[in-house]
Chain A
Amino acid sequence: MSEAHSGRIHIAHQFESSDQQHEAGTLGIWIFLATEVMFFGGLFTGYALDRWLYYPAFAAASRILDIRLGAINTAVLLTSSFTMALSVRAAQTAKRGALALLLILTMLLGAVFLGIKGFEYYQKFVEHVVPSLDFAPQGEVLARLAPGGLGHAQLFFCFYFFMTGLHALHMIVGLGLLFVLLLRALGSEFNAGYYAPVEVTGLYWHFVDIIWIFLFPLLYLIGGRF
């Protein structure tokens, strides 16, 4: 209780101590992430089933994806996880400037990821492999997709857009959270006794990163390129 009255630590009325508040917040985000795992897990299950049923089509369609852009994005996102981890450290040690800089870097890397992702989506429109809206591949793309069956190739692109789209949505939410953190960091809100929001947002950010670590091989690498 003594901490409740010291410094700028804000303790909500339902908690007894800042420790209790911190632990509740951390446990809460872990449970939320468990929910998210089950959410994406359902999608992965559906994808795995259809990949097993229609392997030739899925492999052919996977080879249409731009593996270099996917690999670059993986690197970008992993780096952003690194800067995020460093910002938790900076918050703990109350280094305001470093924290702000690292948060901005994390957001920049997240934005780069989304930009590259957007460019990939654009490519899909150019190649006419957007399910339902514009699925009429021509020329070389058609030649590569046709042997596996166009219908099932379309199914692959359905999953591609659902899964990466949902992931991108999580990234956008994450960028919003980081922006709020940045404002609070500039107001010197965080210190060794109170850095839970940075830690919790960090856990979320790492989770989004891990989802991508699964998406990348599932979508880009299953085509048997190597």
Chain B
Amino acid sequence: MSTATTVAPEPRAATPLNYLNVEYGWRSWLFTKDHKRIALLYLISITFYFFIGGAFAVLMRIHLIDPQGALVQPETYNKLFTMHGIIMIFFFLIPSIPSVLGNFLVPLMIGARDLAFPRLNLLSWYIYMLGGAFTMYSVIHGGVDTGWTFYTPYSSTYANSQVIPAALGIFITGFSSILTGLNFIVTIHKMRAPGMTWFRMPLFLWSMYATSIIFVLGTPVLAIALFLLFLERVFQVGIFTPALGGDPLLFQHLFWFYSHPAVYIMILPAMGVISEIVPCFSRKRIFGYKVIGFSSVAIAVLSFLVWGHHMFVTGQSIYTGLVFSALSFMVAIPSAIKVFNWTATLYKGSISYDAPMLYALGFIGLFTMGGLTGLFLASLSTDVQLNGTYFIVAHFHYIMVGGAVMGYLGGMHYWWPKISGRLYPEIWARLAAAIIFVGFNLTFFPQFMLGYLGMPRRYAFYPAEFQFLNVMSSAGASILGVGYLIPLIYFAWSMRYGPIAGPNPWGATGLEWQTPSPPPKDNFEQPPAVADEAYDYAHQEVGLV
């Protein structure tokens, strides 16, 4: 596989027409219906939000270097962690892999010319941008301090910040998720190329399908919760606010009915990416194809049945708690199945450590840690102890950053040659992957310890004895920040100066690698047909195809 990095740039004779150079001008982008261009619009937008959300995190970590708080007032600190959460979850993590890689790859992987509804696809990006505008409005006009969960009565009686525009922003953005999910489901059902049966589909598509189910069935429930919150605020009637006769637990139920599955919206697509990368860089057929595919669907289904584990300490009945605890443990089964299958794929594979593979291996380790610590929180008694501490913060960052962001970056590196037609600089990419891995663990592992020792989350101050671990965490965050900036620079650089990638630099299977890079506007020069299973690496010559 290392041959991939030594491909000499070919002389640029007449460049063939592809989706990037077929049209020029801002209109050809802002009114495009090409799924590949829409994916790039999403890529630019979510990258913007990633760095905004990251900036809030940096400010928080600087603040927490000093036990008394080094930087901001406590009210401002509340706004920092709220805006960090809202932007990272709703405007970066949820759309990241589905809207960028999914948009780009779903039609390519099934051998279609586009998604089933290209106009809805473009509309979803505009809706996303509109929602983002509302949220940015709330950021500029003072921010929100409720936490990303908008719990009532923080967000109602005691709200003293821009709750309405922020909630509206998330409400609106939800519809872009719904449209994306709808588009993917229909496309995967109806637009597969001849011979592309369900069990020949790349596993990335299974995970996109499972994610889309959550998009379509979960997002509207969040929408209605935020809509009711909005009405309650505007008309001063009691739906969630106890003082007005409402029930705050109703809000939490509706909120988590979406927001627990939302965790799987973030992690399932990353799992799909890993299922593509691991066999390619092990040169092996994936172990347990069907089990991995079905485990994605199982995770999507189970995700709707476990929301009560966020409410163990809110006064729901002990029997409800027991049921939710047991169901939450069950999610571990399909998740572990995936990890075992990836590991079994690695076994006796001829592994190469290109950057995508580094991210994939990082994902497997970090996701395992995040998943196993989740079991602490699914148990009633330990959850009572750990709920509301940094243990939770560390746990979900291992899933969302160690899992989802690693998967996203791995996927971006893996498919960048297809997206841009250029190779990124492999040395820098490996270096960045290593920096991110180290920075990540240094940032978040101390937070496990802090939480275990009892440091509560969401406070602007902490006892002096926790300072050492907090400084470690802040130091890690600065390393992590540098690690994230490097790919931004070399991806941008490679668009102009990177070596020409050729159609299949990784020697990978899959229809997307059988068309030129970047692909032509209609994806394939000839209509593709499929005769083999996915990941048929055993029968393939190693090296370039």
Q: Which residues of A contact B (CB under 8 A)?
A: 12-15, 20, 23-24, 27-28, 31-32, 34-36, 38-43, 45-46, 49-50, 53-54, 131-133, 151-152, 154-155, 158, 162
Contacts and interface: CB of A to CB of B under 8 A. Distances in A.
Contacts of A158: 231, 235, 237-239
A45 B244 CA distance: 19
A133 B114 contact: no
A14 B245 contact: no
B221 A42 contact: yes
- The 5 A-B pairs of least Cβ separation, nearest first, read A42-B224, A39-B220, A132-B235, A14-B114, A38-B220
Contacts of A39: 220-221, 223-224
Contact of B217 (A12, A20, A35, A155): A35
Contacts of A53: 247
B383 to A, nearest CB: 25
How many residues of B sit at the interface, in one of the four size bands? 35 or more
B190 A24 contact: yes
Interface of B: 107, 112-118, 178, 181-182, 185-187, 189-191, 216-221, 223-225, 228, 231, 235-239, 244-247, 250, 253-254, 257, 522
B521 to A, nearest CB: 10
B105 to A, nearest CB: 15
B221 A46 contact: no
11 contacts: A13-B113, A13-B522, A24-B191, A35-B216, A38-B221, A39-B223, A39-B224, A41-B220, A131-B235, A133-B235, A154-B245
B238 A23 contact: no
B186 A24 contact: yes
A43 B522 CA distance: 43
Contact of A46 (B113, B216, B228): B228
Given A35-B216, A36-B220, 14 more contacts: A14-B114, A15-B191, A20-B190, A31-B181, A31-B185, A35-B217, A39-B220, A39-B223, A45-B250, A46-B254, A151-B244, A151-B245, A152-B245, A158-B231
Interface centre among A14, A32, A36, A151 (most CB of B within 10 A): A14
B304 to A, nearest CB: 10
B191 A14 contact: yes
A173 to B, nearest CB: 14
A132 B236 contact: yes
A16 to B, nearest CB: 8
Contact of B228 (A38, A41, A154, A162): A162
A15 B117 CA distance: 10
A27 B235 contact: no
A13 B235 contact: no
A15 B473 CA distance: 52
Contact of A31 (B216, B250, B522): B216
A13 B191 CA distance: 12
A46 B190 CA distance: 36
Nearest to B190: A24
A196 to B, nearest CB: 13
Nearest to A23: B190
A41 B112 CA distance: 35
Given A23-B190, A42-B225, A34 B217 contact: yes
Given A20-B191, A34-B217, A42-B254, A28 B117 contact: yes
B220 A42 contact: yes
A155 B238 contact: yes
A40 B217 CA distance: 11
Contacts of A50: 247
B238 A32 contact: no
Nearest to A57: B245
Given A35-B216, A42-B221, A162-B231, A155 B239 contact: yes
B199 to A, nearest CB: 20
A41 B216 contact: no
Contacts of B522: 13
Contacts of B107: 14
Given A13-B522, A42-B221, A42-B225, A154 B114 contact: no
Contact of B250 (A49, A151, A162): A49
Contacts of B224: 39-40, 42-43, 46
Nearest to A28: B186
B182 A155 contact: no
Contacts of A40: 224
A39 B250 CA distance: 15
B20 to A, nearest CB: 19
B237 A154 contact: yes
Given A14-B191, A28-B116, A36-B220, A46 B235 contact: no
B262 to A, nearest CB: 14
A151 B243 CA distance: 10
Nearest to B231: A162
Nearest to B193: A16
A41 B113 contact: no
Contacts of B115: 14
Contacts of A23: 190
Given A14-B118, A42-B220, A31 B245 contact: no
